[in-house]
Structure 1
């Protein structure tokens, strides 16, 4: 079983879903970030619970060389969309997508199937295949 699979099982045992795992370097500190989601939202207590349960796993299988900080949080209101499951879970939300031709599409994510997404933009519906997406994220209009 991979480290990610172990983390995912632990996260699910807490009643939430694993959204993403990222690594970063901020102020000369390595950070191992685990993002979790739930239909009911994610509380600070839930993040602490997941962190307590994952910490021993990371003591055995170090995810990064050297010292690092573990952070567990929600991906937030504006989150990156990387996986098929991210797109499918975001149908109905506002998204911004950049494709390989560096065109940017903004609008409501109407559909997400296994091959493509459809975004309702101010110019009409745009169909974009996953293999042509450079980056994508949800966004919130204030």
Structure 2
């Protein structure tokens, strides 16, 4: 990896920069990009989204669009597997704009360290989200919890079973 890639936030950020204009041309948006090692293998995962939902053709189109760019730019020195998919119903909220877009939605929060009562898993409704990573979840009628994104291993949307 070149020093230039490191300065720009690593492989995932560099790939996001390459993928975003391609996604826009296809009527898609980039939800998230992850570059992870699982066992002995490396995976580059690009999660795409669009207003009326992502289909298999969208994933194929994005793969065909990004593949030659990755080959040409070569931002990843080791072998890896490219995966393009939808973030899914229980999508991870990663960026401040993800939190802002889903205010009022049910979420599940996994904490890195337990709360005083030993809880590590919280479920509730996302009430508030700030640009600095602070957010608030309504746990029940009387209790809400204010957290920092950095305190959480994940924040995921929950399928909204009570909307029907």
TM-score, normalised on structure 1? 0.82
More helix by share: 2
Structure 1 portions without partners, runs of 5+: none
In structure 1, the residue matched to 2:122 is 105
After superposition, the C-alpha distances for 1:32-82 in whole angstroms (9 at most, x for unaligned) are 110011121111111111111111110012243333221110011112222
Q: For 1:118, what is the secondary structure of its paired residue?
A: strand
- Indicate which of 27, 32, 42 corresponds to 1:30: 42
Task: Give the match for residue 41 of structure 1.
Answer: 53
Q: Distance in 2 between matches of 1:67 and 1:135?
A: 27
Distance in 2 of aligned mates of 1:126 and 1:26: 33
Q: Aligned with 1:48: secondary structure?
A: helix
2:106 is the counterpart of 1:89: no
Q: CA RMSD for the aligned pairs?
A: 2.5
Q: Is the Cα–Cα contact under 8 Å of residues 15 and 33 in structure 2 kept in the other structure?
A: no
Q: Tell me if 1:62 matches 2:71.
A: no
Query: What's the CA shift for 1:8?
Result: 1.1
Secondary structure of 1:7's counterpart equals helix
Of 111, 124, 130, 2:143 maps to 124
- Report the Cα offset of residue 120 of structure 1: 1.4
Pair member with larger Rg: 2
How many residues are paired up?
142
Question: Structure 1 residues 68, 50: CA separation in 2 closer, same or farther (over 3 Å shift)?
Answer: same
